Amino acid sequence: MTSGGLHNACEQVAPLLAFYACGELDEGELTLVQQHLAICAACNAQLSEEKNLQTLLAFLPQEADRLDSAGVLLSQCRSELAETLDDLVRPPVLEKTPVFGAFRRWMALRPAWSGAVLVVLGLLLGMQASQWYSARNAANPLDEAVNVRPGPHFSDDQLSKMAVAGINFSPPTGTGAQNVRVELNAEQPMEINGSLDDSDVRRVLTYVVKSGERFDPGMRLDCLEALKARSGDSEVQDALLAAARKDQNPAVRLKALEALRDSTSEDAVRAVLLDTLKHDSNPGVRVEAVNLLVGSLEKSGNADTMPAMVPGMPSLPDGNTVPAMARGNAHEVSMTGVIMTLEELRRRDPSSYVRLRSAAALRQLSARNDQ
């Protein structure tokens, strides 16, 4: 081989020597490098230097060895790279069709026309879908939803056989009433539209809240959100109290307590709050009950109606005195029960936050008593 030909061969082989040392060449390139190394001392010397360099690098700690010691990640990357290269080399099946391939290339080179074509296709498909849906409803009239105005006054048996498919709320009207649409699945799909002043709307919503695990928590939360505007209604309040006391989902119990915020001065609501503080397993729900109780006490009269802290009463283990209960005064008796419950929480609640919040509430009540 002439010196010029050997030089050209060296220029072709030199970039492949690093891959040759690592065993990363395919069969054709491997044959080319081996044949050239048999006659070229310079490339042999360069290969020797490359192997020495790789030997030195092998002794250095490699981050890749620590992260992927088995080489699984490297093998996966190589496999994905090979698949991607194959896809680039091999055209798609439709691309082999001359007409489709030419059309795709024409669209790719003209983005404005491509957008116009897509808009036209969307309009045509929308018109066809609308016509198809109208024809389908005309052929099956029993599948249409029925708007019930006014409601049919559901019985308990009817409600037990129905499934609530969805609840939607519309913005309040000029009168301030929020419209509620309830979708029911029964023998015939049905919709109830109306405000919470509609007894049937309230009945369905309270039924969902009281039924607990029969409906998913998201559905129960939606019903509570709608019902909180009517928490003063006896039917609605009974449902809220039942959810706060018995629902298995803590988020639903918490939402029920929030919905009762404006009714905490009532004895039934306060009794549920006390029961929650004593028995609810979720600390977040207990904290909300503490907050509502303290808020109700702040709104329930002046400091002269507060029960006094009388030193002569029995002491708690840490030296605090139990508030004296004035006989015959229902407000003071209720207040005393609240304070005793807060003191019990302050000493024994497993949640540190609940303990701190109860202690803060007691200090607040004590400050009011001293005024």
Across 104-140, b (16+ Cβ under 10 Å) vs e yields eeeeeeeeeeeeeeeeeeeeeeeeeeeeeeeeeeeee
Least confident of 134-138, 204-208, 261-265, 337-341: 134-138
Residue with more model confidence, 117 or 135: 117
Residue-wise pLDDT tens digits, 293-328: 877 776 665 434 444 433 333 334 444 444 433 333
Query: Whose CA is closest to 225, among 168, 281, 269, 265?
Result: 168
Residue 335 token pair = 């207040």
Q: Please, which residues have CB within 8 angstroms of residue 166's CB and are 6 or more apart in sequence?
A: 182, 183
Residue-wise pLDDT tens digits, 76-111: 888 888 888 877 766 555 555 666 667 777 777 777
| pLDDT at position 330 | 44
Q: Please, which residues have CB within 8 angstroms of residue 183's CB and are 6 or more apart in sequence?
A: 145, 164, 165, 166, 167, 168, 189, 190, 191
DSSP H helical ranges for 97-211: 98-109, 111-139, 156-161, 199-210
Determine which helix (DSSP H) or strand (DSSP E) holds 18, and give its type and residue range.
helix 17-22
Determine which helix (DSSP H) or strand (DSSP E) holds 165, and give its type and residue range.
strand 163-169
Helices (H) and strands (E) in the chain, counts: 17, 4
Q: How confident is the model at residue 169 (pLDDT cuts 50, 70, 90)?
A: low
Q: How many other β-carbons are positioned within 10 Å of the β-carbon of residue 335?
A: 23
Residue 292 has pLDDT above 50, yes or no: yes
* Residue 39 backbone phi and psi in degrees, to 5: -125, -5
Question: What is the average pLDDT across 356-361?
Answer: 83
| pLDDT at position 57 | 78
| pLDDT at position 165 | 61
Least confident of 112-126, 214-228, 289-303, 357-371: 289-303
Domain extents for the chain?
A: 1-61, 145-263, 277-371
CA distance linking residue 360 with residue 354, whole number of Å: 10
Query: Whose CA is closest to 164, among 202, 216, 210?
Result: 216
Least confident of 56-65, 147-156, 188-197, 284-293: 147-156
| pLDDT at position 312 | 34
Q: Do the Cβ atoms of 292 and 280 come closer than 8 Å?
A: no
| pLDDT at position 361 | 80
3-state helix, strand, coil in the chain (%, to 5): 70, 5, 25
- Find which of 135-149, 205-219, 236-250, 310-324 is predicted with most confidence, using mean pLDDT: 236-250
Q: Do the Cβ atoms of 216 and 203 come closer than 8 Å?
A: no
Q: Do the Cβ atoms of 290 and 358 come closer than 8 Å?
A: yes
The secondary structure of residue 350, as a DSSP letter, is S
Question: What is the average pLDDT across 155-173?
Answer: 64
Residue 316 token pair = 């708690």
Question: What is the average pLDDT across 10-17?
Answer: 87
Residue 300 token pair = 């329930």
| pLDDT at position 144 | 44
Residue with more model confidence, 53 or 157: 53
- Residue 212, sorted as left (phi over 0), alpha (psi -120 to 50) or beta, turns out to be left
Give the N- to C-terminal CA distance of the chain in Å, as an integer.
Answer: 112
CA distance linking residue 365 with residue 339, whole number of Å: 8
Mean pLDDT (the chain) is 74
Residue 161 has pLDDT above 80, yes or no: no
| pLDDT at position 293 | 80
| pLDDT at position 188 | 54
Residue 132 has pLDDT above 70, yes or no: yes
